[in-house]
């Protein structure tokens, strides 16, 4: 399979290494310094693009590929206000767009555990829920895409919560889910959901030991997406 890497930072490099060990060919490695090379590429020679760049580059990168009917597997966070435009373009071009805030199988199981726990807690008014996420200092956006996905899972299950807010320790209202973001090297990613009451605390957490789990998941999805159409997610891939 011929893979175009859109974004060649730490994640892009690990993805490239894993893809090559699985017998795939890296057509090009695009980053901010050589983005002009995109126009010289032949879309017919690209089976899939894997996009792990920066929030300010993601939309343009994904648009370039989708416009040329190249399926895209995207993991960049911090640009999702423009995601509906990509979904519309995907359908217009009859290709495939796959987005996940986190490609780790373990994290996606954690999403399900989070939603289940939230469903159990929705009538337990004595508990106050909060979230904390920890990433490396090179991560540009806060809170993380994974934290936002967790927050959305909680909001869907607990009616009294109307929104989430980056709190950084600041008090928020009872209708707001507070998220604390910390940037500490070399942490690849920790997410903690806490329910606190006067009687006890309930806590679930996921800690990544390296970026490899994210990268392996992205390559597996890139292999899976061949010949598929439409807007896809980890639920489709894992068939939850």
Q: What amino acid positions are annotated as catalytic residues?
A: 135, 139
Q: Residue 199 gets which letter from DSSP?
A: S
Q: Please identify which residue in the block is written with the tokens 């806590």.
A: 203
Q: Please identify which residue in the block is written with the tokens 């919560």.
A: 161
Q: Is the dihedral of CA 173, 174, 175, 177 positive or negative?
A: positive
Say how far apart CA 214 and CA 170 lie, in whole Å: 31
DSSP 2-48: EEEEE--SHHHHHHHHHHHHTT-EEEEEE-TTSGGGGGGS-GGG-SE
E strand or H helix at 156: helix 145-157
The token duo for 54 is 């920066």
Q: Is the dihedral of CA 207, 108, 53, 23 positive or negative?
A: positive
Say how far apart CA 89 and CA 175 lie, in whole Å: 35
Q: What phi, psi does 201 have (nearest 5°)?
A: -120, 145
Q: Which has the closest alpha carbon to 99: 207, 188, 231? A: 231
């Amino acid at each position: 399979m011929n893979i175009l890497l859109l974004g060649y930072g730490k994640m892009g490099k690990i993805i490239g290494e894993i893809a090559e060990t699985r017998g795939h060919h890296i057509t090009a490695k695009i980053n901010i310094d050589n983005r002009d090379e995109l126009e010289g590429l032949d879309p017919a020679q690209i089976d899939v693009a894997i996009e792990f760049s920066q929030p300010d580059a993601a939309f343009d990168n994904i648009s370039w590929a989708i416009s040329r009917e190249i399926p895209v597997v995207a993991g960049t966070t911090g640009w999702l206000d423009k995601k509906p435009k990509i979904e519309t373009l995907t359908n217009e071009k009859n290709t495939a767009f796959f987005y996940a805030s986190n490609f780790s199988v373990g994290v996606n199981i954690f999403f399900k555990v989070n939603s289940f726990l939230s469903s159990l807690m929705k009538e337990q008014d004595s508990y106050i829920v909060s979230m904390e996420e920890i990433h490396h200092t090179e991560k540009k956006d806060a809170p993380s895409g994974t934290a936002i996905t967790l927050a959305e899972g909680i909001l869907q299950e607990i009616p009294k919560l109307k929104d989430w807010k980056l709190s950084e320790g600041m008090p928020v209202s009872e209708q707001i889910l507070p998220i604390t973001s910390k940037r500490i090297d070399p942490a690849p990613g920790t997410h903690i959901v806490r329910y606190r009451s006067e009687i006890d605390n309930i806590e679930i957490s996921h800690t990544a030991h390296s970026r490899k789990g994210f990268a392996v998941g992205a390559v597996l999805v890139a292999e899976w997406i061949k010949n598929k159409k439409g807007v896809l997610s980890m639920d489709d891939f894992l068939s939850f």
